[in-house]
Structure 1
């Protein structure tokens, strides 16, 4: 990282790169959804993240002969956010006293969801991402609606140790969130992540996630935004259902288009089989049996 403000604090735009910067793109899409009269969820904090990030114009870039990232992914982010909100709240209300947001990015769920009494939520990400969010939300009255613990950690290192040190109890059923994460991991890294999550999970723990195939239409849209964004998609598990079952989870893997229809929304263009050059997208819930 480089750059400081006159007050000696890291400037937000300079403090984020890679995955952290990508999460600002998700905040753009959440802010767009919040502004719709028929919005599927409320996220008044997304705009705070955008204001703190500096320029967000790059996310509107389009390839010369195709659709832009915002157009392709707006529907997916809207539907997945609402779907995963409900999955986490259902798990927390059903006996999962702990919630862990893996690589939380610009996730405002600690502040915007009505968590059951007694919920303890751990938000895990790079220290610069957590710092950025803390600064962005300063002074706007954002208050966590549950016990909220920040865990500065890198998923490539001993993040389970950092989580335990922050007070996480592996003996308590836990609701895990992996949103916008799995397709950014190589297959081997996704396997290691799930193995760690499973070791930390008591029976009855829940996992909520999304996953997506890469495709020509998505690659072109990402390339129009930045070369760095183009390289952040790494594949993840080839078969989410088999991947979870192998380690003792009982999953439900649903096609994003099917869930979108239930929400009264069209199939997100990046995952519409009627369009050339698209891939498949899924929303996933699972319980450890």
Structure 2
């Protein structure tokens, strides 16, 4: 399968991962960027997007790199504002901290176009497992190989479907449930109904030795968010599910994790960015978002 055909085959499977890549590509072109991701733009080019992120021109501002992509995606990213960038920076920090504190295994669930294995400076002996559909990983790794990218860790792709026996595939790639693990569920929880979110966390918990860390984000749906998603693709609106039932801290504690939950509004302020319009609490039709880390005790 050629790279272009592979990319076309990603439609519906990795559409959201390309949206995230677009947001990270835009952030890469900001002078005040919160993280480095020189690879994100490459995925947009390879996927045959209408265009790619470029440096600011005479009409662009420092707050938003000009995105030469579909109008619907541009509208969605404008409404989401700095949420993708802040989320990325926050979760980068949590994963690196966990790795420095002894989690030598890092598992990125539904990794999509995530390039943390290639762009972050991991402690020695860190193993990073990218879990996603085979075609998604094949596309991503081909693009990175053609760019001459080198992993900064022991990088282990895991072709697997999270709806099936993905723990078996993870073990087959050398994962050990006896060692502390840093888990990342970025952009996943709100795509799951509550029963599926419970099942996923139960699987993660069963594989987590004491000292393991869970990092994730969650967004509560709203009319404003539905409108932003519909501008990009009406089909994606139905993919937004309820996620965990109840509050995140109680949900995680119920599965024997000790959580810390930060509101998105608090975190964007910490990074010096404005609250995105979709999350503006002054409006009655907007969403609420959270970033969470939790530790597995004995």
Give the TM-score band, short-chain normalised.
Answer: over 0.9
1:102 is matched with: 109
In 2, distance between residues paired with 1:230 and 1:161? Answer: 32
Q: Contact 2:4–2:47 at 8 Å: present in 1 too? A: no
Moved more, 220-229 or 279-288: 220-229
In 2, distance between residues paired with 1:55 and 1:68? Answer: 15
1:287 is matched with: 295
Q: Contact 1:58–1:225 at 8 Å: present in 2 too? A: no
1:39 is matched with: 33
In 2, distance between residues paired with 1:232 and 1:82? Answer: 25
In 2, distance between residues paired with 1:19 and 1:214? Answer: 21
Residue by residue over 1:248-283, the C-alpha shift from the partner in whole angstroms, topping out at 9 and shown as x without a partner, is 100001000101101011112211102341011000
Structure 1 residues 222 and 35 mapped into 2: Cα distance closer, same or farther (>3 Å)? same
Residue of 5, 23, 30 corresponding to 1:11: 5
Report the number of matched residues. 279
Q: Contact 2:7–2:139 at 8 Å: present in 1 too? A: no
In 2, distance between residues paired with 1:124 and 1:256? Answer: 26
In 2, distance between residues paired with 1:22 and 1:245? Answer: 29
Residue by residue over 1:69-124, the C-alpha shift from the partner in whole angstroms, topping out at 9 and shown as x without a partner, is 11122311010100000000000000101000000011010000000001011100
Q: Contact 1:125–1:153 at 8 Å: present in 2 too? A: yes
In 2, distance between residues paired with 1:17 and 1:109? Answer: 23
Q: Contact 2:137–2:159 at 8 Å: present in 1 too? A: yes
Residue by residue over 1:21-71, the C-alpha shift from the partner in whole angstroms, topping out at 9 and shown as x without a partner, is 111001000101111111011100000111011125665328xxxx92111
Pairs within 5 Å for 1:87-236: 87-236=94-243
Q: Contact 2:4–2:46 at 8 Å: present in 1 too? A: no
Pair 1:242-2:236 in alignment: no
Residue of 37, 55, 61 corresponding to 2:72: 61
Give unpaired runs (5+ residues) of structure 1. Answer: none
Pair 1:82-2:93 in alignment: no
In 1, distance between residues paired with 2:253 and 2:12? Answer: 31
Q: Contact 2:81–2:277 at 8 Å: present in 1 too? A: no
2:55 is matched with: none
Q: What's the CA shift for 1:10?
A: 6.2
Give unpaired runs (5+ residues) of structure 2. Answer: 51-67
Q: What's the CA shift for 1:19?
A: 4.0
Pair 1:251-2:259 in alignment: yes
Q: TM-score, normalised by structure 1?
A: 0.93
CA-based RMSD: 1.5
Q: Which runs of 4+ in 1 moved over 4 A?
A: 56-59
- SS of the residue 1:138 aligns to: helix
Residue of 14, 23, 26 corresponding to 1:29: 23
